[in-house]
Amino acid sequence: MPKPLLVILSGAGISAESGLKTFRDAGGLWEGQRVEDVATPEAWAKNPLLVLEFYNQRRKQLNEVEPNAAHAGLKALEEFFQVTIITQNVDDLHERAGSEHVVHLHGELKKVRSTKDENLIYNMDGWELKLGDVCVLGSQLRPHIVWFGEPVPLVEYATEIISKANFVAVIGSSMQVYPAAGLIYYAPSNAVKYYLDPKATQISGISNLYCIQEKASVGIEKLKQMLFNSKL
């Protein structure tokens, strides 16, 4: 008998518990930089050196942290469920915890790609990408990140996956960033859904939704118990 499909929608909250800074602080800044200055195509065209340094520092920080209990808990669920994680996060903490099926909607921090051919994608060995680092075509490499104002290539694939889910769990997401926040609306109406976040509240138009108002590393055990009870 096939395992039921559990789709996880993860956001910055799950990575924050490992020590990674969340997207923006209350002042609208991202590590002291305006989003418009480091995470848009216009920023790249205006000041590529600043953009490269910004993501270099993000990579450096990522190398200094480890997956937390929530990441490990999701890996453990693979014993009982077919788990696919659709994440807004660009870190590799899900993979480092052992999760086998991870879809990165907003790109991956440890990958870079050609500015001439977006299909030329490379894994990074270290944390530093410099001006003058080029692809096989001779064009500058850029972070493999979906910047503001750019299309989200994997959103249709993610929509297809969640449309087949038996269970959905939103973890560590404010449910404010689109198109990722809209994915839950594509889950089947009879799928059982969970929202795990300290500020989790009911989502308009979503049926069979249970809120767990805990941080991810604490609430993961409650989520696991609720999943098992629903599965029986």
pLDDT at 73: 97
pLDDT > 70 fraction of the chain, expressed in percent and rounded: 95
Active site residue 106: yes
Q: What is residue 231's three-state secondary structure? A: helix
Q: How far is CA 28 from CA 24, 32, 165, 166, 176, in A?
A: 6, 9, 35, 37, 14
pTM value is 0.94
Q: Give the Cα separation of 11 and 33 in Å (integer).
A: 21
pLDDT at 154: 96
Is 188 buried (19+), middle (13-18) or exposed (0-12) by CB count in 10 A?
A: middle
Structural fold of domain 1-20+70-106+152-232: Rossmann fold (3.40.50)
The helix (H) or strand (E) run that includes residue 14 is helix 12-16
The helix (H) or strand (E) run that includes residue 222 is helix 216-231
Q: State the residue for tokens 């500020």.
A: 199
The neighbour count for residue 79, using CB atoms within 10 Å, is 8
139 and 115 Cβ atoms separated by less than 8 Å: yes
1-20+70-106+152-232 matches 21-64+111-145 in fold? no
- Which residue among the candidates 71, 94, 104, 106 is catalytic per the annotation? 106
Q: What is residue 13's three-state secondary structure? A: helix
Rounded (10°) angle between helices 69-76 and 216-231? 20
Mean pLDDT, range 68-92, rounded to an integer: 97
147 and 40 Cβ atoms separated by less than 8 Å: yes
Structural fold of domain 21-64+111-145: SIR2/SIRT2 'Small Domain' (3.30.1600)
| Structure tokens given for 179 | 């198109």
pLDDT digits (tens, 9 = 90+) for 87-114: 999 999 999 999 999 999 999 999 999 9
pLDDT at 210: 95
pLDDT at 179: 83
The neighbour count for residue 212, using CB atoms within 10 Å, is 21
Domain extent listing, the chain: 1-20+70-106+152-232, 21-64+111-145
pLDDT digits (tens, 9 = 90+) for 150-203: 999 999 999 999 999 999 999 998 887 778 889 999 999 999 999 999 988 898
Q: Give the Cα separation of 158 and 84 in Å (integer).
A: 10
